[in-house]
Each structure stands twice: as structure tokens, then as C-alpha cells.
Amino acid sequence: MMMNAQQYEDSLRKLNLKVYMFGERVASVVDDPIIRPSMNAVALTYELAHQPEFADIMTATSHLSGKKINRFTHIHQSVADLVMKSKMGRLMGSQTGCCFQRCVGMDALNALSMTTFDIDKKHGTAYYKRFIDYLTFVQENDLTCDGAMTDPKGDRSLPPHQQHDPDMYLRVVEEKPDGIVVRGAKAHQTGAVNSHEIIIMPTISMRREDMDYAVSFALPADADGITYIMGRQSCDTRKLEGKTFDIGNVLYGGHEALVVFDDVFVPWERVFMFKEYDFAGQLVEQFASYHRQSYACKVGVGDVLIGAAQSIAEFNGAAKASHIKDKIIEMNQLNETLYCGCIACAAEGHQEPCGTYYVNTLLANVHKQNITRFPYEIARLAQDIAGGLMVTLPSEKDLLSPEVGKWVRKYYQTQKNVPLESRLRILRLIENLTLGTAAVGYLTESMHGAGSPQAQRIMISRQVDMNAKKKLAQKLCGITEDN
């Protein structure tokens, strides 16, 4: 069954999540004004799946049941699926102007479909069957999954087993007849408290000495022993002010959390890797490549920011200036170049032995490397066009004040036919996207999400066939093996 937005919200109300923010436990993540906008963004992934104009992008046919499912629960069955995934990311980014949080779970499911199959082939295990049973459960219930990979890591110069505190990487602390007990944490978890399930994966390649850390499993998000500690975002408490335009994006938002596992029990049927350290690196690489493709979402957010920059230029009466036109062109050129990357790695995808289609890893990493750079330049240009008022603007309360509101209206008015409030709303949106809560998803996440920039450069160096390039050059200038 594909849920709609209301059914999704109702399903979250049934969870008993242990969430802390500002040092206090959150009574209801659904109703909390700071968390609610992020839930709205996830809810839109459900709502658009029921709208006919978006059906091709937002839904797919399950290869397990043959039923229509939300694409966020789908295992890619063709290059066309990979391309549609990129289109879905851009669509959702453009509709929400923020992170909509379901990509990481989708990417975890697809990576596990490949890695569990390969583990079974080498070690004679039964992980792939477990995974398929779990996937069936996710698809039938249209669940949002939080894919959790990033560990706190502690001392980066030491491997997991040499850490001063062994819990700096999530690990198995006990093995029981009916399952395992795990301890540790996962950091920077986007959309964690809006998820029904949490899927754990190792964060780095492992050696034999690290085998207790080579573990992958899935649990209900409200399983006993799991605690969520919400991360702060710039301007986050503005959301407590109600529907004021000072928020910037008055509809949607995102969130991140530290997820703590305090001796949490995992039944065997939910375990997809248990000490197979030789496959930890493969799972990391496959997930990361999928997730680097997923940054098509930043193209969609870029669409919003470019539209905001054009709007404020028009509201200010500056849209016809040649330098403004050139900056808008540059923003579009950079944004569409990003789109080229995510479409290219999808179009060059291939089928793995398990049947799942996998992106071209070189192009996925090139795409993500560009994501670490271009959104920052797009944001810089947007701030340039917006002008300093973006960060010196008085609050909406000042605008409405009987004492000083008349001065705000008098001195911030531009063209007669442009409502002042429209100008102020666009300025706040640009602030939100480039400096406020949305900047976490558009800028910082662009830099560090799906691995640091250096992680992509390492993958690029591994994937590029330099010997082939040398042979091409040497052939054309007459160098042979004989000279």
C-alpha cells in the first residue's frame, strides 16, 4: 500500500521515539514546530506519488510483487530506473527547497541488495534472503528508512579496534542465540526522527581486527535503547515564531540527529552483515556511489535559489542590468552542469549479478565532487544579487509594529507595483537557503554529505584507467614498446 501524506503523519504518531532537543525530551516530533517542517518535506514524497502528473517519476513497479510502489522503496531494475531516480531528486528538491530525507534509505536498500548477495556467494550465508524479506516488508508498508553509516570515529588516526573508547564505531558487544547486542552511535543522521526504520551500515573498510564493527542491520526507529539527540541549525528557533516570513521557507525544512545505540538488541532476521569484515568496504563504496548520485536534489534546490535570485533582481528593479543577467546565466550553467553529472552516472549504469542496476562509480564521484563546489558559487552569486538587506532586514514584527512599521514600509519599498512583503519574503528565502536552516542541506551537506570531498577524489583516482590514457597519448606521438 502506498501511503499518502496524512497516513504517513499518522504512522509517525504511533512511534514511541526517544528524542532530545535543547536538553529536554521532545513530547511529539510530529507537532514540534522545529521538527515539523522536516516532516512536511518527507510527507511530500508520499503526496506527490499520488498525483498523476508525477506518477512516472515518483512510483515504480516492484520486482518482488509486481505492485505499484513509491520509488523511494524501489530496487533499480534498469538504467531507466537510475535516470528516473535523478529526475525524482531534482523534482523533490525543487518542490521543497530542502532535504526531503528519503534518499539515504533508498540508497542503503539498493547497496544491501548487492552486498548481501555477494557475501552469500563467498561465505554461504543467508543474508540476501533476509534482506529480500525485509525489503518486502518495507515496500508493502511504504516505509521511510534512515540509512545510517557515519560513526563518530573518535581519533581519526586509529582504526576502530584501537580507539581509546571502543564505542566510537558502532560494534557488536554480545552474541545471543536469537540475535546480537550492539553499542555505539551514528552521527549527522538526516531525517532520523521522521523515519519508521533505521538501517545500519559500517562507515569504513575493515580489517580482521575490526570484525566486531563489521555489522549491518535494520531496526524499528523506536526500538528499545535508541536515543536521538537533535542537532542545532542556524536560525532554527525562528520556527518557534509561527508562520512568520522570517523563517524563509515557510513550508519545509530538514534536520540531523546523533543516534545513540545503548546496548540495543537486534534479532538475527534483521542482521545483514555479521563480522564479514572483507565486505565492509564494498558496502561502503556501493552505498556511497548511490548516495553521491542522489545529490541531484541539490540541482532542484538550485532551481529554487536561481528563481529567488531572479525574483529579487526584478523586485529591486535591477533585472535588466547586464551584470545581473550574466550572473543568472552563470548560476544556471553551474546548476545544469550538476544535472549532467547525475544523469550521466545513471545513464552509464550497469546490472550487478544480483540483478540490481548500479551507477557508474567514476561519474557518480565526479558528480559529487562538483556538488562540493558549484552550490557555493551559486549561493555566492545569489547573495551578490540579493544585496546586503538579506542580512540586515528587520523582523516581521518590526514591519507590523504600530511604532516603527511605517518606517520599515517607507524605506524598504522599491517599485510601486511590487508589494513590500513579497520583496521581504524572497530576501528571507535567499537567507534561509544560503545562511539559515536550509543552508545545512544545500551547502554544508553538499560539502560533507555522502563522504568528504577527499573521499570522492580517492575514488576518482581508483576508478580512472590511467594506463589506458597513457597508451592513447603515447600511440599518437609514436612511442612504442620498442623505443
Residues 27 and 147 in one domain: yes
Residue with cell 528538491: 93
Per-residue pLDDT of 186-209, as tens digits, reads: 999 999 999 999 999 999 999 999
DSSP 363-379: HHHHHHHHHTTHHHHHH
Indicate the SS3 state at residue 17. coil
Task: Specify whether 26 is located in the same domain as 157.
Answer: yes
- Claim to verify: residue 363 and residue 416 sit in the same structural domain: yes
* pLDDT for position 425: 96
Overall size of the chain counted in residues: 483
Q: How far apart are CA 107 and CA 291, in angstroms?
A: 6
Share of the chain above pLDDT 70, in %: 100
Please, how many CA atoms are within 13 Å of residue 203, restricted to the half-sphere of its CB?
A: 24
Same domain, 178 and 298: no
274 pairs with which residues across the strands?
215
Residue 216 predicted with pLDDT over 70 = yes
Distance CA 334, CA 306 (A): 11
End-to-end, the C-alpha distance of the chain in Å comes to 68
Q: What is the pLDDT of residues 352-401, one digit of tens each?
A: 999 999 999 999 999 999 999 999 999 999 999 999 999 999 999 999 99
**204 part of a folded domain:** yes
- What pLDDT does residue 483 have? 67
Do the Cβ atoms of 427 and 386 come closer than 8 Å?
A: yes
The reported pLDDT for the residue numbered 480 is 87
- 8 A C-beta contact, residue 32 and residue 240: no
The answer to whether residue 38 sits within a structural domain is yes
322 and 240 co-located in one domain: no
Indicate whether 217 and 356 sit together in one domain: no
Is residue 246 located within the same domain as residue 185? yes
Check whether residue 259 and residue 372 sit in a common domain. no
Residues 224-276: tens digit of each pLDDT? 999 999 999 999 999 999 889 999 999 999 999 999 999 999 999 999 999 99
- What angle in degrees, to the nearest 10, is found between the helix axes of 297-315 and 374-386? 20
Residues 76-119 pLDDT 10s: 999 999 999 999 999 999 999 999 999 999 999 999 999 999 99
- CATH number of residue 181's parent domain: 2.40.110.10
Same domain, 299 and 406: yes
Question: In the numeric block, which cell numbers belong to residue 428?
Answer: 528571507
pLDDT tens for residues 39-54? 999 999 999 999 999 9
Regarding whether 304 and 255 lie in a shared domain, the answer is no
Residues 226 and 324 in one domain: no
Residue 282 lies in a domain: no
Q: So what's the pLDDT on residue 441?
A: 87
> C-alpha grid cell for residue 194?
521522521
Looking up residue 438, the CATH number of its domain turns out to be 1.20.140.10
Whether residue 253 is contained in a domain is answered as yes
Model pTM above 0.85: yes
**pLDDT confidence of 452, banded at 50, 70, 90?**
confident
Averaged pLDDT of the chain: 96
Rounded Cα gap, residues 227 and 230, in angstroms: 10
In a domain, 475, yes or no: no
Cell reading at 457: 577524489
For residue 29, the model assigns a pLDDT of 95
Rounded distance between C-alpha atoms, residue 306 and residue 134, angstroms: 41
Q: In the chain, how many domains are there?
A: 2
Q: pLDDT tens for residues 130-172?
A: 999 999 999 999 999 999 999 999 999 999 999 999 999 999 9
Is 307 in the same domain as 445?
yes
Residue 284 covered by a domain: no
Q: Are the beta carbons of 273 and 280 closer than 8 angstroms?
A: yes
* Residues labelled catalytic: 99, 103, 190, 256, 291, 295, 297, 445
Give the three-class secondary structure for 218.
strand
CA 95 centroid distance within chain: 15
- For residue 351, the enclosing domain spans 292-466
